[in-house]
């Protein structure tokens, strides 16, 4: 399992946990809209770091973005594997498109 899978499993565990017991449980208890808002805030912080070419901060903020993306997906009951499968499907599609471009006939 990847670290993203490990983290997704921990986040899933926090659903229904006492909000006072963890930051993740507290955020999930506030509902999917709040989780989405928080994801947006973290994404903006990452955008600012990228625009400033602040590499250290961008790395830190990117980790925040990934964590909050997983929380937002969990809040809407979308498994991480559904997203990864969609990426895999697109790789398959682009593979076909690249082959068609290489061998036009
Ligand atoms: N990866 C993370 C992670 N990344 C970011 N955060 C939290 O996300 C918050 C970031 O939001 P802000 O910077 O806006 O912090 P804030 O000012 O306190 O928040 P606001 O008051 O503005 O809403 C911080 O409180 C961070 O602690 C995380 N909290 C938890 N995890 C992981 O999630 C798992 C579960 O952790 P618990 O939440 O402790 O159960 C663990 O494996 C952790 O490593």
- 98 pLDDT more than 80: no
- Placement of tokens 């973290």 in the chain: 42
Residue 26 alpha carbon, nearest atom of ligand 1:
38
Q: Which mutation among 7, 9, 10, 24 tests ligand 1's pocket best, with the greatest number of atoms within 8 A of CB?
A: 24
Rounded to an integer, the average pLDDT of 34-56 is 98
Q: What is the pLDDT of residue 100?
A: 73
Q: What is the pLDDT of residue 105?
A: 59
**pLDDT tens profile 3-44:** 999 999 999 999 989 999 999 999 999 999 999 999 999 999
ipTM: 0.87
For the Cβ of 61 lying below 6 angstroms from any atom of ligand 1, the answer is no
What's the pTM? 0.89
What structural domains and CATH numbers belong to the chain? Answer: 3-78 (1.10.287.1080)
Please tell me the distance from the alpha carbon of residue 84 to that of residue 45, in angstroms, as a whole number.
Answer: 24
């Amino acid at each position: 399992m990847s670290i993203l899978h490990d983290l997704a499993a921990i986040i899933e565990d926090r659903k229904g946990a006492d909000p006072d017991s963890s930051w993740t449980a507290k955020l999930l208890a506030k509902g999917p809209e709040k989780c989405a808002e928080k994801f947006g805030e973290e994404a903006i912080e990452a955008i600012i770091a990228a625009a400033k070419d602040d590499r250290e901060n961008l790395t830190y903020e990117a980790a925040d973005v990934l964590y909050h993306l997983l929380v937002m997906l969990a809040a809407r009951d979308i498994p991480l594997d559904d997203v990864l499968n969609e990426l895999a499907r697109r790789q398959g599609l682009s593979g076909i498109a690249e082959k068609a471009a290489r061998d036009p006939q």
